[in-house]
Structure formats: structure tokens, C-alpha cells
Chains A and B, each alone.
Chain A
Amino acid sequence: ETGVTQSPTHLIKTRGQQVTLRCSSQSGHNTVSWYQQALGQGPQFIFQYYREEENGRGNFPPRFSGLQFPNYSSELNVNALELDDSALYLCASSLGTAGELFFGEGSRLTVL
């Protein structure tokens, strides 16, 4: 059973650029959720995908968007990057929206 994997692990961007983060869900899981975690804070829910459709969204602007593919892997896209977007971005997969969350190691984004 493979776990949740995320790529890239670290990346540096400049303000105004766009970034795509990727997540492969754990085998058998059909739900992926994304979180932003600033230093010293808990993970903040961005959105969730269930069977390729957005199924819940947190308080993030539209420049945060995502996709889920038929194999249940997912992407998080952030446009027009701002300095405050610097954070650890965590992906978690689960079996259904009520299942236990299994997290990947995260992608650490630094915006300069």
C-alpha cells in the first residue's frame, strides 16, 4: 500500500508567479483535501475533491484552484502569488469525505 506523495518538496517563486503542486493519493482513496499551514499554525482547509469534483471549500480566494484526475491524484494551483502564500501545503487523502485523513509530507513554498 503506497502512501500519499507530494511534489515538489520545496520550491521558491516570486510574487505574481503561478505554482502547481501535485499529490498522489493513497491506494484505494477517492478523496483528496488540501491545506495551507503557516509556521506555528494548524493546517487551514483550502478545498476537497471527491470523485473528480470540488466538494467543499475553505476561506481562500479564487486564485487557489484545483483538479482531481480519474486516478484520484490531484493538483493545487495558485495564481498571482503573494508573499503571504509562503507556507507548507499539505495534501491528505481519505476513503470518502468522512474517512480518516492520511497526509503527505507537504510542499514547502517560499514566495520572494
Chain B
Amino acid sequence: GAGVSQSPSNKVTEKGKDVELRCDPISGHTALYWYRQRLGQGLEFLIYFQGNSAPDKSGLPSDRFSAERTGESVSTLTIQRTQQEDSAVYLCASSTSGLGNTIYFGEGSWLTVV
């Protein structure tokens, strides 16, 4: 597609449920990032994928969070047993490679845990 596509755009879930967020990067982009942004706050790094290399998971806040990516295509971010503090917008970005290239963001998935 023309840009980074994320789904769902909005999700309301009950505390304790699992959620899955999807990111479809720009075609040909080998690098893919997930960030979290709480209301009125900055962006927190979660995880980074580069091609077939092992992902950098250093930003995942707990073992309830996990992410997968198949090759250089779609990525899914899974949050298990959601808590109210997980409420945030989850932003995905991609670039042609990790370092030294323009990064393009999707419109985000707004998650509300009630």
C-alpha cells in the first residue's frame, strides 16, 4: 500500500482480555517498529524488527506483551490479560532500513481498556 496501515483503528476491551493489533508496513520496508503513546505523553519504544534478524525486544514493558513479524511483511502486537494502564495509542512505523532512513508512521491503533 501507499502508507503504513494499522488495524483496528480503535479497540475497546475489557480488563483481562487479550488483544491483537496489526501493522502492514510499506512494501519493501525491511525495518518495522512498534511504539506506545499514552494520552498527552511522548512515544515509548516497544520493539524493532529488521529483516530476518532477531528482533530488539528491549522496550516491551512486561511479558504480557509480545510481537511477531513474518519475514518483511505484516506484524502483530499481542497484549495478554490487558490492564487499564495499557490504554494508549499503539503506533507502527517502517523504513527501508533501521538506521539513517526516513521513518514512516501509521495512524495508530487506539486501545481503551475498561
- A, B in one complex: no
A residues neighboring B (CB under 8 Å): none
